[in-house]
Structure 1
Amino acid sequence: MDERVREHAEVLVDWSARVAAGDDVVVSVAEDAHDLAVAVAAALGERGANVTTLYDSEEVSRAYLKGSESRDGDFESDPAVDLAVFEAADVYLRLGGGRNTTATADVPAPVRQAYATARQGVREARMGTDWVSTVHPTRSLAQQAGMAYEEYQEFAYDAILRDWETLAEEMAEMKRILDAGNEVRLVTERDDAPDTDISMSIAGRTAVNSAASVAYDSHNLPSGEVFTAPYDTEGEAFFDVPMTIEATRVRNVRLVFENGEVVDFAAETGEDALASVLDTDPGARRLGELGIGMNRGIDRFTDSILFDEKMGDTVHMAVGRAYDACLPQGATGNDSAVHVDLITDVSRNSRLEVDGEVVQRDGRFRWEDGFA
C-alpha cells in the first residue's frame, strides 16, 4: 500500500475526527476507496474504536432513485434504520472515491428533490456526529480534473497532508476579522466577465476556522477555508469556476439578490440543474455560507467542491442550509434541504471588504507579501 494512504488515514482519524477509544464510528466507503478504508479500519482498530461500515455507491443510488420514478418520488421520511445508525454514532467518516462522478446524471430533478427533502432528518442526525468527509484519489476523479492518475495523486496528497496546525494559525486572523465585522462586500471588475458587487450582513455570526478538524468545527479533509453564515444579501455575483451540480456541469453562474433572496439567475451551461437546486425549497434561494479559500496547497481547479472551494485566491457562497456552528446559541439560520457551493476566482481585479476595509485584494490578504 502507498504510504501516503496510511498517512491520509492517520490524519483523518487523529487530527480530523479526533477518534478516541470506545467511540462508535460509522465509515461510509465509496466504490474505489477500498485502500483508504483498509488503512482507516487499521487505525481505528489500533485506537480501540468500534467500527460499522456502509457501502456508498453512486451507481447503487442511481438504481434506487431510477426505480422510484414510477412512484413519483414518494419516499418514506427519515427511515428508522438510517436514523438509528447515525443517532447512535459518535463519529461518521465518509470516504469518497467512486467509479463515475456523473453516475446519477439521468435521475430527474423532482426525484432528487423529493429524496433530499424526505431524508433531511437523517442528514441532521449525521451532521450531529463528529463527521468528516474526505476522498481517496481515484482514476475517475483524476479524469474529472483533467489530470493523469499519478499527477492527481500528487495533487490530492499535497492538499491533504498539510501542516494543519500552522495553517490553522494563519486562518485564525481571517476568523478574527469576520467575527468582529458587520458587513462583507465582494467586488470584481473584469473586462472578460460580468462584474460582482454583492454585500451581506455577518453581524452576530461566528466564523469557522476550517482547519480540517472537528476541534475547529471543520468537517472536510482537505480543508483550508474560513466561513460564516451571511444574511440580508444584496447585489449581484458572478461565479466563474465550473463545477458539477446534480451530476451536471454548471458554468458561469450569475445570481441577483434582493432582500436576501435570489430573484434572478442564469448560467452559461447547466442552468436547469441550477434552477432545480433553487426550487428545492424557500431556503434554497438564500445564502447559507460565505467561504474564503486559504489552502495554497490546492493550486488548480479540479471540478471537485471538496478541493476547489478551499483553494487560495477564491471566494465561495453556498445557497441553502447554514451551518449551526456559525450561529448564536439557540438561533436558527437559513434552513434548506440543500447546500450548494458556487465559486468565484478572486486572483485579479477584485477586493474583499469587511466594514469598508479591504482585507484581500487580487487574492492576497493584507498580512501577506504582495498585498497592495
Structure 2
Amino acid sequence: MDERVREHAEVLVDWSARVEAGDDVILVVGPEAHDLAVAVAEKLGERGANLLTMYGSGEITRAYLRTHDGDFDENPDFERALYERADVVLSIGGGRNTSAMADVPGETRQAYDGARTEIHEARFDTRWVSTVHPTRSLAQQANMAYEEYREFAYDAILRDWEALAEEMAQLKDLLDDGEEVRLVADGTDLRMRIDDRTGVNSAASVAYGSHNLPSGEVFTAPYATEGAVTFDVPMTLRGTPVRNVRLEFEDGEVVDYVAEQGESVIGAILDTDEGARRLGELGIGMNRGIDRYTDNILFDEKMGDTVHLAVGRAYDACLPEGETGNESAVHTDMILDVSEDARLEIDDKVVQRNGRFRWEDGF
C-alpha cells in the first residue's frame, strides 16, 4: 500500500474527524476506495471506535432512482435513526464513473433530495467529513494521467493544516468584523450582507467547523444579495457539464439565470424549493496546493485564486446560536476565477486583488 494512503487515513481520523475511543462511526466507502477504507479501519480500530461500513455507489443509486415511481417516503425512520445515533460519519468517494447519475431525470433527483431533508440534517449533526481516494475515474475527469492525479491529490490533502489554519484566520477575522462583501470580476458585480454572521476557518477539521478533506477555504453565510455573478469555472452538476452560469439577484433571490451549457440543470436546482434561489454560502479558496481545475468540487472550490457561491442550504456554523439561516434540500456550489481583473471588498476595503490577499506578496 502506498504510504500516502495511510497518511491520508491518519489525517482523516485524527485531524479531521477527531475520532475518540467509543465513538460510533459510519464509514461510507466508494467502489474504488478500498485501500483508503482499509487504512481508515485500521486507525479506527487503534482508537477503539465502533465501526459500521456502508457501500456508497452512484451506479446503485442510479439503478434505484431510474426504476422508482418518484413517490419517495419522507425521511425513512430506519435511515434517519442510523445517523441520529452516529457520532461520526466518514464518506470516502471513489467511484468507477463520475457521470453515473447523468441520466437520472432532474425531477426524480429533486423529489429524492426533497424527501430526505431530515436525514441530511441528522448527518450534519454528526462530526461528518467527506474525502476522496484518488481513482482512475477522477484522474480521467481531471484530464490527467493516474499517477499525475495522485500526486496532485496528495499535494492538496497532506498539507500542514495548522499553518494554513493560522493564515486563513486572518480572513476569518475580516469577515467576522465586516458588514458587507462586494465581489467584482468579469461579468460580476455582487453585494452580500454578512453582519451577524461567523466565518468558518475551514482547515479540514471539525474542530474548525470544517467537514471536507482536502479543505482550505474560509466561508460564511451571506444574505440580502444584490447584483449579478458569472461562474466561469467549468464543472459538472448532476452528471451534466455546466459552463458560464450567470445568476441575477434581487432582494436576495435569483430572479434570472442563463448558462452557456447545462442551463436546464441550473433551472432544476433553483426549482428544488424556495431556499434554492437564495445564497447559502460565500467561500474563498486558499489552498495553494490545488493548482488546477479538476471538475471536482471538493478540490476546485478550495483552489487559491477562486471564489465560490452556493445556492441553497446555509451551514449552522455561520449563524448566531438559535438562528435559522437559509433552508433548502440542496447546497450547490459554483466557482469563479478571480486571478485577473477581480477584487473582493469588505466594507469598501479591498482585501483581495487578482487572487492575492493584502498580507501576501504581489497584492
TM-score, normalised to structure 2's length? 1.00
User: Which residue does the alignment assign to 2:33?
Assistant: 33
User: Which residue does the alignment assign to 2:327?
Assistant: 335
User: Which residue does the alignment assign to 1:202?
Assistant: 194
Q: Deviations over 1:145-199 (max 9, x none)?
A: 000000000000000000000000000000000000000000014xxxxx21000
Measured after TM superposition, the shift of residue 98 of structure 1 is 0.4
Q: Deviations over 1:228-281 (max 9, x none)?
A: 000000000000001111111101000000000000001100111111100100
User: Which residue does the alignment assign to 1:109?
Assistant: 106
User: Which residue does the alignment assign to 1:152?
Assistant: 149
Of 335, 350, 359, the match for 1:367: 359
Q: Secondary structure at the match of 2:317?
A: helix
**Residues 1:170 and 2:167 aligned together:** yes
Trace 1:1-372 onto structure 2 (pairs within 5 A). 1-68=1-68, 71=69, 73-189=70-186, 195-371=187-363
Question: Which aligned runs of 4 or more in structure 1 are off by greater than 6 angstroms?
Answer: none
Superposition RMSD in Å: 0.5
- Tell me, in whole angstroms, the C-alpha distance in 1 between the residues paired with 2:258 and 2:33: 36
Instruction: Give the letter for the 1:144 counterpart.
Output: Q
- Tell me, in whole angstroms, the C-alpha distance in 2 between the residues paired with 1:307 and 1:167: 16
- Consecutive unaligned residues of structure 1, counting only runs of 5 or more, are 190-194
Instruction: Give the letter for the 2:14 counterpart.
Output: D
Q: Deviations over 1:291-349 (max 9, x none)?
A: 00000000000000000000000000000000000000000100000000010000000
Q: Secondary structure at the match of 2:61?
A: helix
- Tell me, in whole angstroms, the C-alpha distance in 1 between the residues paired with 2:234 and 2:117: 27
- Tell me, in whole angstroms, the C-alpha distance in 2 between the residues paired with 1:93 and 1:63: 24
Q: Secondary structure at the match of 1:233?
A: strand
Instruction: Give the letter for the 2:113 counterpart.
Output: A
Q: Deviations over 1:185-240 (max 9, x none)?
A: 00014xxxxx2100000000000000000000000000000000000000000000
Q: Secondary structure at the match of 1:369?
A: coil
Measured after TM superposition, the shift of residue 81 of structure 1 is 1.3
Q: Secondary structure at the match of 1:159?
A: helix
Measured after TM superposition, the shift of residue 86 of structure 1 is 0.5
Equivalent pairs, count: 363
- Tell me, in whole angstroms, the C-alpha distance in 1 between the residues paired with 2:292 and 2:228: 25
- Tell me, in whole angstroms, the C-alpha distance in 1 between the residues paired with 2:76 and 2:94: 25
- Tell me, in whole angstroms, the C-alpha distance in 2 between the residues paired with 1:123 and 1:345: 30
- Tell me, in whole angstroms, the C-alpha distance in 2 between the residues paired with 1:342 and 1:66: 26
Instruction: Give the letter for the 1:179 counterpart.
Output: D
Q: Secondary structure at the match of 1:237?
A: strand
Percent identity at matched positions?
Answer: 72
Measured after TM superposition, the shift of residue 84 of structure 1 is 1.3
- Tell me, in whole angstroms, the C-alpha distance in 2 between the residues paired with 1:92 and 1:342: 25
- Tell me, in whole angstroms, the C-alpha distance in 2 between the residues paired with 1:336 and 1:87: 20
- Consecutive unaligned residues of structure 2, counting only runs of 5 or more, are none
Instruction: Give the letter for the 2:59 counterpart.
Output: E
Q: Secondary structure at the match of 2:295?
A: coil
